[in-house]
């Protein structure tokens, strides 16, 4: 394999091998083969003979054939591509094609795992926020009832409790919402 590239749906994320002087990460996708693979969700193969391959970035590019394999995420949505290249005058072997498709399946599985973990973290965060919203009113209600009971017996201690309560809320309202004390 002469070179390997990875894209998302819009730009080149990584490139290594022949042509790395002009296939620069961060640039928008300009290859019709890549755009077709993203659009159709199918493997696109330009062998350089029957299906001509021409680099869209540099007229003297030494790459002569490409295999563009879609990377899939949730609901089989194409998230990007992995692209394998061979130099001009070299045949793209079926072993390399099988290898590329296997790597694409592995990367797609990793994308799905990452999406699952992100959704799991978002669900946990939502549960914490819901718990926080339920705990605060009950805590305040109980604290005020305690202060009310103490006022009858010891106004000085009640004043101190109000001060503690105000300090507690001041600290908790300044704290980022990710951290909630449940005590």
pLDDT, tens only, 119-172: 888 888 887 777 776 667 777 788 888 888 888 888 888 888 888 888 877 776
pLDDT at 177 over 70: no
pLDDT at 182 over 80: no
Q: What is the SS3 string spanning 55-79?
A: CCCCCCCCEEEEEEEEEECHHHCEE
CA distance 20 to 90: 18
| Residue 153 token pair | 């017996």
pLDDT at 20 over 80: yes
Supply the DSSP symbol for 49: S
CA distance 97 to 40: 19
- The 10s digit of each residue's pLDDT in 84-96 is 888 877 777 677 7
Q: What's the pLDDT score for residue 167?
A: 84
Residue 89 has a CB neighbour count (10 Å cut-off) of 9
* Residue that wins the pLDDT comparison between 15 and 169: 15
* Residue that wins the pLDDT comparison between 133 and 17: 17
- The 10s digit of each residue's pLDDT in 40-78 is 988 888 877 777 778 888 888 888 888 898 988 778 888
Query: Helix or strand or coil: residue 87?
Result: strand
How many CA atoms does the CB half-sphere of 93 hold within 13 Å? 5
Q: What's the pLDDT score for residue 176?
A: 56
pTM, whole model, 2 decimals? 0.60
């Amino acid at each position: 394999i002469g070179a390997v590239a990875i894209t998302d749906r819009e730009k080149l994320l990584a490139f290594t091998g022949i042509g790395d002087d002009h296939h620069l990460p961060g640039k928008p996708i300009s290859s019709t083969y890549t755009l077709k693979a993203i659009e159709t969700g199918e493997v696109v193969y330009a062998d350089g003979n029957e299906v001509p391959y021409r680099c869209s970035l540099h007229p003297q590019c030494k790459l002569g054939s490409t295999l563009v394999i879609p990377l899939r995420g949730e609901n089989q949505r194409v998230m990007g591509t992995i692209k394998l290249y061979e130099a001009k005058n070299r045949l793209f072997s079926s072993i390399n094609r099988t290898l590329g498709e296997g790597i694409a399946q592995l990367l797609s599985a990793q994308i799905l795992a990452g999406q699952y973990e992100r959704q799991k973290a978002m669900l946990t965060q939502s549960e914490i926020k819901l718990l926080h919203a339920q705990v605060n009113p009950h805590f305040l209600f109980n604290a005020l009832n305690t202060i009310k009971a103490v006022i009858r017996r010891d106004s000085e201690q009640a004043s101190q409790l109000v001060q503690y309560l105000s300090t507690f809320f001041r600290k908790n309202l300044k704290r980022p919402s990710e951290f909630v004390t449940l005590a």
